[in-house]
Amino acid sequence: MQVVDLGAAPGGWSQYATQVIGQQGRVVASDILPIDPLPFVEFVQGDFREDAVLAEILKLLKEEKADLVISDILNMSGVDAVDQPRAIHLCELALDMAKQVLKPKGDFLVKLFQGEGSEAFIRNVRESFRIVKFGSQQPQDLAAGRFMCWRRVLCCNISRIGVKTDNAS
Ligand SMILES: C[S@@+](CC[C@H](N)C(=O)[O-])C[C@H]1O[C@@H](n2cnc3c(N)ncnc32)[C@H](O)[C@@H]1O
Protein backbone atom coordinates (compact mmCIF):
# COMPACT_ATOMS: atom_id res chain seq x y z
CA MET A 1 0.00 0.00 0.00
CA GLN A 2 1.29 3.46 -0.87
CA VAL A 3 0.26 6.52 1.11
CA VAL A 4 0.97 10.14 0.26
CA ASP A 5 0.90 12.50 3.25
CA LEU A 6 0.46 16.16 2.30
CA GLY A 7 1.34 18.76 4.93
CA ALA A 8 3.25 16.12 6.82
CA ALA A 9 5.47 18.09 9.22
CA PRO A 10 6.35 17.32 11.93
CA GLY A 11 5.35 13.81 10.89
CA GLY A 12 2.66 12.47 13.22
CA TRP A 13 0.30 11.21 10.52
CA SER A 14 3.19 9.72 8.53
CA GLN A 15 4.52 7.89 11.56
CA TYR A 16 1.12 6.47 12.28
CA ALA A 17 0.61 5.46 8.65
CA THR A 18 3.91 3.55 8.62
CA GLN A 19 2.85 1.65 11.73
CA VAL A 20 -0.44 0.69 10.11
CA ILE A 21 0.72 -0.29 6.64
CA GLY A 22 3.94 -1.97 7.75
CA GLN A 23 7.30 -2.18 6.05
CA GLN A 24 5.88 -3.57 2.82
CA GLY A 25 4.08 -0.28 2.29
CA ARG A 26 5.46 3.08 1.39
CA VAL A 27 4.72 6.50 2.85
CA VAL A 28 5.69 9.49 0.74
CA ALA A 29 5.40 12.61 2.88
CA SER A 30 5.65 16.20 1.78
CA ASP A 31 5.73 19.57 3.47
CA ILE A 32 7.10 23.01 2.87
CA LEU A 33 8.93 22.63 6.21
CA PRO A 34 11.67 20.08 6.84
CA ILE A 35 11.06 17.09 9.07
CA ASP A 36 13.45 14.92 11.01
CA PRO A 37 14.05 11.65 9.16
CA LEU A 38 11.40 9.06 9.98
CA PRO A 39 11.84 5.33 9.47
CA PHE A 40 10.10 4.10 6.32
CA VAL A 41 9.03 7.59 5.29
CA GLU A 42 10.34 9.17 2.10
CA PHE A 43 10.15 12.93 2.25
CA VAL A 44 9.77 15.62 -0.38
CA GLN A 45 10.33 19.13 0.91
CA GLY A 46 8.60 21.92 -0.96
CA ASP A 47 5.42 23.83 -1.61
CA PHE A 48 2.90 21.28 -2.80
CA ARG A 49 1.49 23.83 -5.26
CA GLU A 50 4.67 23.58 -7.30
CA ASP A 51 4.92 21.17 -10.23
CA ALA A 52 8.34 20.02 -9.05
CA VAL A 53 6.84 18.66 -5.83
CA LEU A 54 4.18 16.73 -7.74
CA ALA A 55 6.86 15.35 -10.07
CA GLU A 56 9.03 14.24 -7.15
CA ILE A 57 6.12 12.54 -5.39
CA LEU A 58 5.20 10.70 -8.59
CA LYS A 59 8.84 9.67 -9.01
CA LEU A 60 8.95 8.21 -5.51
CA LEU A 61 5.71 6.33 -6.09
CA LYS A 62 7.46 4.68 -9.06
CA GLU A 63 5.28 2.69 -11.43
CA GLU A 64 2.24 2.55 -9.21
CA LYS A 65 0.21 5.43 -7.97
CA ALA A 66 -1.00 5.94 -4.39
CA ASP A 67 -3.75 3.97 -2.65
CA LEU A 68 -4.43 6.78 -0.22
CA VAL A 69 -3.72 10.50 0.00
CA ILE A 70 -4.02 12.08 3.42
CA SER A 71 -3.95 15.85 3.70
CA ASP A 72 -3.51 17.96 6.79
CA ILE A 73 -2.26 21.02 4.95
CA LEU A 74 -2.96 24.11 6.96
CA ASN A 75 -1.56 27.58 7.13
CA MET A 76 -3.42 29.35 9.91
CA SER A 77 -3.06 32.98 10.90
CA GLY A 78 -5.52 32.92 13.78
CA VAL A 79 -7.87 35.28 11.93
CA ASP A 80 -11.01 33.34 10.95
CA ALA A 81 -11.88 35.57 8.01
CA VAL A 82 -8.48 34.80 6.50
CA ASP A 83 -8.07 31.22 7.65
CA GLN A 84 -11.32 29.67 6.42
CA PRO A 85 -10.99 30.67 2.74
CA ARG A 86 -7.30 29.80 2.86
CA ALA A 87 -7.99 26.39 4.37
CA ILE A 88 -10.66 25.63 1.76
CA HIS A 89 -8.33 26.73 -1.03
CA LEU A 90 -5.62 24.40 0.27
CA CYS A 91 -8.17 21.57 0.46
CA GLU A 92 -9.10 22.22 -3.18
CA LEU A 93 -5.45 22.13 -4.20
CA ALA A 94 -4.92 18.94 -2.19
CA LEU A 95 -7.92 17.42 -3.96
CA ASP A 96 -6.38 18.33 -7.32
CA MET A 97 -3.12 16.72 -6.33
CA ALA A 98 -4.89 13.66 -4.94
CA LYS A 99 -6.61 13.14 -8.28
CA GLN A 100 -3.21 13.20 -9.97
CA VAL A 101 -1.38 10.81 -7.66
CA LEU A 102 -4.16 8.34 -6.75
CA LYS A 103 -4.89 5.04 -8.37
CA PRO A 104 -8.35 5.00 -9.96
CA LYS A 105 -9.86 3.46 -6.84
CA GLY A 106 -7.66 5.34 -4.40
CA ASP A 107 -8.92 7.20 -1.38
CA PHE A 108 -8.56 10.74 -0.19
CA LEU A 109 -8.71 11.76 3.45
CA VAL A 110 -8.62 15.46 4.17
CA LYS A 111 -8.94 17.58 7.25
CA LEU A 112 -11.68 20.04 6.52
CA PHE A 113 -12.95 22.90 8.63
CA GLN A 114 -16.68 23.35 8.46
CA GLY A 115 -17.63 26.87 7.49
CA GLU A 116 -17.80 29.09 4.46
CA GLY A 117 -16.82 27.12 1.37
CA SER A 118 -16.86 23.70 3.02
CA GLU A 119 -20.16 22.62 1.43
CA ALA A 120 -18.94 23.65 -2.03
CA PHE A 121 -15.72 21.74 -1.42
CA ILE A 122 -17.69 18.64 -0.42
CA ARG A 123 -19.73 18.95 -3.63
CA ASN A 124 -16.45 19.00 -5.57
CA VAL A 125 -15.22 15.93 -3.72
CA ARG A 126 -18.46 14.15 -4.57
CA GLU A 127 -17.83 14.75 -8.26
CA SER A 128 -14.64 12.68 -8.08
CA PHE A 129 -15.29 10.23 -5.27
CA ARG A 130 -18.13 7.81 -5.26
CA ILE A 131 -18.70 7.80 -1.52
CA VAL A 132 -17.92 10.62 0.85
CA LYS A 133 -18.04 10.10 4.58
CA PHE A 134 -17.34 12.27 7.54
CA GLY A 135 -15.69 11.40 10.77
CA SER A 136 -13.42 12.63 13.44
CA GLN A 137 -10.69 11.22 15.54
CA GLN A 138 -11.69 13.28 18.53
CA PRO A 139 -15.08 14.40 19.87
CA GLN A 140 -13.66 17.89 20.21
CA ASP A 141 -12.98 17.90 16.46
CA LEU A 142 -16.65 17.35 15.77
CA ALA A 143 -17.58 20.05 18.25
CA ALA A 144 -15.18 22.44 16.55
CA GLY A 145 -16.57 21.59 13.11
CA ARG A 146 -13.50 19.77 11.82
CA PHE A 147 -14.27 16.82 9.60
CA MET A 148 -12.46 14.31 7.54
CA CYS A 149 -13.88 13.12 4.27
CA TRP A 150 -12.85 10.16 2.24
CA ARG A 151 -14.10 7.70 -0.29
CA ARG A 152 -15.49 4.50 1.04
CA VAL A 153 -13.72 1.92 -1.08
CA LEU A 154 -10.76 1.66 1.25
CA CYS A 155 -12.48 2.84 4.38
CA CYS A 156 -11.36 -0.31 6.20
CA ASN A 157 -7.80 0.76 5.68
CA ILE A 158 -8.62 4.27 6.68
CA SER A 159 -10.36 3.04 9.80
CA ARG A 160 -7.16 1.29 10.66
CA ILE A 161 -5.39 4.61 10.75
CA GLY A 162 -7.76 5.79 13.39
CA VAL A 163 -10.68 7.56 11.79
CA LYS A 164 -14.19 6.62 12.82
CA THR A 165 -16.47 5.62 9.96
CA ASP A 166 -19.76 6.54 11.56
CA ASN A 167 -21.57 9.83 10.94
CA ALA A 168 -21.91 8.85 7.30
CA SER A 169 -23.83 11.19 5.09
C1 LIG B 1 -1.30 20.89 10.94
S2 LIG B 1 0.30 20.78 10.21
C3 LIG B 1 0.44 19.08 9.77
C4 LIG B 1 0.66 18.15 10.93
C5 LIG B 1 0.96 16.73 10.47
N6 LIG B 1 -0.20 16.12 9.84
C7 LIG B 1 1.40 15.84 11.59
O8 LIG B 1 0.71 14.87 11.91
O9 LIG B 1 2.49 16.05 12.16
C10 LIG B 1 0.05 21.57 8.64
C11 LIG B 1 1.24 21.53 7.73
O12 LIG B 1 0.88 22.05 6.44
C13 LIG B 1 2.08 22.59 5.88
N14 LIG B 1 1.80 23.45 4.72
C15 LIG B 1 1.07 24.58 4.70
N16 LIG B 1 1.07 25.10 3.46
C17 LIG B 1 1.81 24.27 2.69
C18 LIG B 1 2.19 24.26 1.32
N19 LIG B 1 1.78 25.24 0.48
N20 LIG B 1 2.96 23.25 0.85
C21 LIG B 1 3.37 22.27 1.69
N22 LIG B 1 3.06 22.22 3.00
C23 LIG B 1 2.28 23.21 3.50
C24 LIG B 1 2.69 23.34 7.05
O25 LIG B 1 4.05 23.59 6.84
C26 LIG B 1 2.39 22.40 8.22
O27 LIG B 1 3.50 21.61 8.53
CATH of the domain at 101: 3.40.50.150
The stretch 148-167 carries a mean pLDDT of 35
| Confidence band for 74, pLDDT divided at 50, 70 and 90 | confident
pTM of the model: 0.86
Domain containing 27 equals 2-130
Residue 135 domain-assigned (yes or no): no
Residue 51 domain-assigned (yes or no): yes
Query: Per-residue pLDDT tens for 117-156?
Result: 888 998 888 888 877 777 765 555 555 555 555 443 222 2
Residue 160 domain-assigned (yes or no): no
User: Secondary structure of the chain in the HEC alphabet?
Assistant: CEEEEECCCCCHHHHHHHHHHCCCCEEEEEECCCCCCCCCEEEEECCCCCHHHHHHHHHHHCCCCEEEEEECCCCCCCCHHHHHHHHHHHHHHHHHHHHHHEEEEEEEEEEEECCCCHHHHHHHHHHHCCCCEEECCCHHHHHCCEEEEECHHHHHHHHHCCCCCCCCC
- Closest ligand 1 atom to Cα of 48: 20
**Is 32's C-beta closer than 6 angstroms to any atom of ligand 1?**
yes
**Is 13's C-beta closer than 6 angstroms to any atom of ligand 1?**
yes
Residue 166 domain-assigned (yes or no): no
Question: From the CA of 30, how far away is ligand 1's center (Å)?
Answer: 8
Q: Which of 99, 105, 111, 133 is catalytic?
A: 111
Residue 111 domain-assigned (yes or no): yes
* Counted domains in the chain: 1
